[in-house]
Amino acid sequence: MEGIKDRVAIVGMGCTKFGELWDKSPDDLMIDACWEAFEDAGVDPKDIQAAWVGSTMSGRRGTMLARPLKLEYIPITRVENACATATDAFRNACYAVAAGIYDVVLACGVEKLKDTGFTGLPGNLEIITSEVTPPSPPPMQFAMAATRYFHHYGLSYEQGKRILAKIAVKNHHNGTLNPKAHFRREITEEQAINAPMIAWPLGLFDCCGVSDGSAAAIITRPDIAKNFKQDYILVKGLGIACGAQQAVLQNTYDYVHFQENVAAGELAYKEAGIKTPREEIDIAVVHDCFTITEMIIYEDLQWSPKGRAPEDVESGFFSLEGGLPVNTDGGLKCFGHPIGASGLRMIYEVYKQLQGKAGPRQVKNVRTGLTHNLGGSPGWFTSAVAIFGRRD
C-alpha cells in the first residue's frame, strides 16, 4: 500500500460566511463557495472533470451540485458521513486524483441547517434511521464525557468548568479575528462559567452553534498544480476511522477518550510520516462541538499526555500564540457548524494559514496543519484526520 502523501494538491478554496443565512438557499451557498474556489484556482467550471458533494440534510445525489453550478454530464458523488461528511467527500476526491482518473476535481460541502429545525436533539436526525442509537441528544452524550473526565482525573466541578471556559474564551477570541465566523465577540471565563446550563456540566458557551454555510476545494496533482499557483498546498495524510463498539449499550464505555480519534490520528500520522505530533503539527482545526470534545481531542491526537490536557489549556499551549494553536478560525464554537460543510471549512483555514493568508489570526511559520472531525455518537463515531503541508 502507498499513502496519499504529496500525491495531491489543493490549488483553490472557497468558504462562505457561516451563520443564520435565512436569505440564502443551499444552491446560493454552494455557488458562493465554489466560485471563490474557482477564482482562487483560476479555473473555469468547464475544467472540472468530476466532483464530490457532502451534505447530511440539504440535498441528495450528485445533481444537487450539478444544477446550481451547471456542471453538465460529469460524475458527481454525494458523500454523507455525519460531521465528517465534507472531509470524506474531500478524501474520495483525493483518491480519484491520486489514481490518475482525473486531473482537476471539485469537493464541496454544504448545509442549510437552520432550515431543517435541527437542534442536535433526537427526533430529527436519529429517528429517521433504523440505527440503534442511544436516545440521548449530543449535549447529554458529551456532558457524560465531561463528568467522567472530571471524575477520572480528579477535577472538581469548579476546576473542570474553568478549564472548559478557557477553551471557549480562546475560540471566541479567535472568532473575533475571522470575518466569516458566525459568532464574533469576546467572552470572559466568568461569562462562560455562569452561562445557562445546557446539560450539566456543559453550559451555553461549552456548546457550538447551529449554522448555515458551504466550503469548497479544487484538487489536482502536484505536477500540474504549479500551472495554477505557486503556493499550492499538499495533502500529507488522510485517516478515517468508524467505531462499532458495543460498550455504550453495555455501560462499559469509558468516555474519557474516543478510540475513533486515536485510530484516525494514527492512520493520518503514519501516512504523513509524523512521529511526534505535539512538535510537528504547527496548527490544528478540530471538532469542538463541545469544549470537552476539544479537550479530549488534545489527548486522543497525542498533543497532551492522558489527563494532562488541562495543564496545556492553563498554559495557553493551544492559543494563537501558543506552541500548537488550535481552532485559529474560531472552531465550531464560533465559525459555526453547518454539518456537511464543516470539514472543508477546517481545510480552508489550514490552507489559508499554510499560505500565510489568514489575516489578523495568522500564525507564524506554519508548515504543517491538521484538521479533525468527529461525527455520530459515542461508540459509533466517525473520526477524520487530515494533514496538510507547504510544497517547500
Residue 121 in the binding site for a second copy (CB under 8 A): no
Near a second copy by CB under 8 A, which window of 80-88, 209-217, 250-258, 355-363?
A: 80-88
| Cα–Cα nearest to 350, from 237, 197, 184 | 237
Number of residues that bind a second copy (CB under 8 A): 69
The span from the CA of 187 to the CA of 223, in Å, is 46
**Cα distances (angstroms) measured from residue 203 to each of 21, 165, 189, 225, 336:** 25, 9, 12, 45, 17
355: three-class secondary structure by DSSP: helix
Q: Give 209 or 340: the residue with its C-beta nearer to a second copy.
A: 340
> 292 with 145: CB under 8 angstroms?
yes
Pairing of strands 104-112, 50-54: parallel
Report the chain's terminal Cα–Cα distance, integer Å. Answer: 25
Q: Give 241 or 366: the residue with its C-beta nearer to a second copy.
A: 241
> 85 with 109: CB under 8 angstroms?
yes
Q: Give 261 or 368: the residue with its C-beta nearer to a second copy.
A: 261
Residue 252 in the binding site for a second copy (CB under 8 A): no
Contacts (CB under 8 A) with a second copy, residues 262-291: 263, 267
Q: Which of 6, 101, 124, 306 binds a second copy (CB under 8 A)?
A: 101
Question: Can you spell out the DSSP letters for 25-44?
Answer: -HHHHHHHHHHHHHHHHT--
Q: Which of 208, 265, 382, 386 binds a second copy (CB under 8 A)?
A: 382
The span from the CA of 355 to the CA of 353, in Å, is 5
Half-sphere exposure of 207 (CA within 13 A, CB side): 23
Q: Which of 11, 16, 43, 78 binds a second copy (CB under 8 A)?
A: 78
Residue 71 in the binding site for a second copy (CB under 8 A): yes
Least Å distance, CB 249 to a second copy, is 10
Q: Which of 138, 139, 209, 239 binds a second copy (CB under 8 A)?
A: 239
Residue 380 in the binding site for a second copy (CB under 8 A): yes
Diameter over CA atoms, the chain: 59
Grid cell at residue 141: 452524550
208 is catalytic: no
> 384 with 82: CB under 8 angstroms?
no
Least Å distance, CB 176 to a second copy, is 32
Neighbours of 12 (CB within 10 A): 24
Q: Which of 34, 83, 108, 334 is catalytic?
A: 83
Q: Which of 172, 182, 287, 337 is catalytic?
A: 337
Residue 234 in the binding site for a second copy (CB under 8 A): no
> 87 with 375: CB under 8 angstroms?
no
| Cα–Cα nearest to 214, from 388, 386, 340 | 340
Residue 99 in the binding site for a second copy (CB under 8 A): yes
Q: Which of 81, 174, 214, 371 binds a second copy (CB under 8 A)?
A: 81
Residue 297 in the binding site for a second copy (CB under 8 A): no
Grid cell at residue 253: 464505555
Contacts (CB under 8 A) with a second copy, residues 347-366: none
Residue 376 in the binding site for a second copy (CB under 8 A): yes
Residue 193 in the binding site for a second copy (CB under 8 A): no
Residue 30 in the binding site for a second copy (CB under 8 A): no
The span from the CA of 259 to the CA of 269, in Å, is 15
Half-sphere exposure of 238 (CA within 13 A, CB side): 24
Residues forming beta bridges with residue 219, ordered by sequence position: 10, 105
Near a second copy by CB under 8 A, which window of 32-40, 146-154, 157-165, 377-385?
A: 377-385
Least Å distance, CB 295 to a second copy, is 22
Residue 132 in the binding site for a second copy (CB under 8 A): yes
Q: Which of 130, 250, 252, 276 binds a second copy (CB under 8 A)?
A: 130
Q: Which of 30, 37, 64, 366 binds a second copy (CB under 8 A)?
A: 64
H or E stretch at 235: strand 233-242
Q: Which of 298, 335, 381, 388 binds a second copy (CB under 8 A)?
A: 381
Q: Give 65 or 145: the residue with its C-beta nearer to a second copy.
A: 65
Exposure b/e, 140-153, CB count within 10 A at least 16 = b: bbbbbbbbbbbeee
182 is catalytic: no
Site residues (CB under 8 A) for a second copy? Answer: 1-4, 7, 25-27, 49, 56, 58-67, 69-82, 84, 88, 91-92, 95-96, 98-103, 112, 115, 125, 129-132, 239-245, 259-260, 263, 267, 375-376, 380-382
